[in-house]
Structure 1
Amino acid sequence: MTIGLPTGLAVVMFGLGLSLTPRDFARVLTQPKAVVVALVCQLLVLPTICFGLVLALQLPPVLAVGMMVLAASPGGAAANLYSHLFRGDVALNISLTAVNSVLAVLTLPLITNFALWYFEPFDDRLGMQWAKAVEVFAIVLVPVVIGMLVRRGWPHFADRMDRPVRVVSVLVLILVVAAAVASNWVLLRDNFLDLALITIVFCLVSLSIGYVVPRWFRIGRRQAISTSFEIGMHNATLAIVVAQTVLDSVALSLPAAVYGVLMFFLACGFGFLVRGRGGADAAADDPVGRHHSPADSAGS
């Protein structure tokens, strides 16, 4: 698992890189309000809410830290697929994923070390060391850059590889979840109800905040759908790798393992719910100043 987990994550992030171009980073300047609102929700609001949920349910310290690692993880590539299925702004999703993955190099260690300091799950271990964190995120960012270079040099190959890499990404998640569950079956069994409850509540709250808060700021419905999936579907594979590779604790990865299974079903139900609101929100469907075109109308 020591080699397999980072390798699996590298494959997942390479697949993400195949879908990115430099324009995706520059595009954030064209929708600054949507990006800022999404990042504030992702980096500040959700970790705070997760901290409150952990305290309310009084999870064991190791599981509490595991939830905070999950909350600090950026959105996963699955958010782009769900945004496409439920008529979100996929370009915004891709840009947010790109920016979030870079920012997580700083924010994830900070939030994780706070959780380790507060809950003290290990008596004989220091916090998340920056050198080790940088090593893991090299596994995250270097494959993304390689994927982007492949797309730039061989775009047709990148398009053909998109579906196979997505399939491999799902298989990687299934394998790491299965391994985490098998290694900590007793701990999972004794805390399953609390873990299922907190991961379901956290996922639904994340999805809801990602949709409602942008709408409060008069951000278009398609963009709000995108942000809901972006901050509501955390990168469970990354959280598991951080738990097991950086913090050397399989038990700490259990919240991400449970979440990684449940989020697909919850996000699907949420997607049908918000897509069903399309008629009610039609008048405010697009950001102020955007002009409708026949193509836009056909795609709504």
Structure 2
Amino acid sequence: MRILVCTKADLPSLIAMNRLLPALAERHDVEVLLTERVRPAERHLPDLAVLKLLERDLPLSVLLPLAEAAAPTGWRLRSFERLGKELAIQVGTIRQINAGDGFERAVRFRPDLVLSIRFSLVFRQPMLELPRHGILNLHPGPLPGFGGLFAIFRQMKLGRPEIGVTLHRVDAGIDTGPVVTVQPMPIAPGRSMLWHVLRAYEAGVPAILAAVARLAAGQALCSTPQDPERMRYFGLPEPDEFAAFAQAGLRLYDVEEYALDLRRLLGLQVRELVAAALPVEAAGRARLAAEG
């Protein structure tokens, strides 16, 4: 099959791609479209700004290039560019998906199936009609109750014992399409939200590969429509929600955890760099806010 993978240029997506793309490339023609979309709130709200730094700016722009320069081969985590070269996959960054650059690339590729993982753009017509097998999205919350943004944050805030990583078909709504499967992932007590985010999408990769295998074999992919009465969509958390999260003893991120993860993924000792970067980022955001 011809499979178009739509994802975000950030660390959680890259971790999932390092597992997904090699498996797909063995049997299918694959192309990857990346979005670098940044929501305005991610530039101004301190909590969102720090998460952007840890999920995108620091690992992709600074640490991963350092790791690849220090060890050109052999490291577990490969950049989007290196994955493309090693697997002979086209990887492109786009601004739009339903028109313009993204839609043009999708039409040229002629996908049988589109896979969406952490993709920041909403699929509309005519993208929904382009792939004959439709679009499958991996969402880090159980549907229909946890649609939208920051699903892991919401599940932790409610004290749920596990995260439900959902593979579902994409329809004209947002996180409203029929559910293919929900993969449970235990919430580890004491671990931060970011720790869970870095693992949730990778945990959903087996469900994606199983769905792809069924479709490639000519078998129907069973799915269950969501109950509209149970659907709930969440936007970005407000500052008071972040405050309540912290007051409940929960953490968005932890420097020690993050440094250990990056050492595992990249082979770099980065704790001091991360610890130094956070106050610099916070000071920069405060200056921007003061300047209006």
TM-score, scaled relative to structure 2: 0.34
Structure with higher helix content = 1
TM-score normalised over the length of structure 1: 0.33
Answer 1 or 2: higher relative contact order, Cα 8 Å, separation at least 6: 1
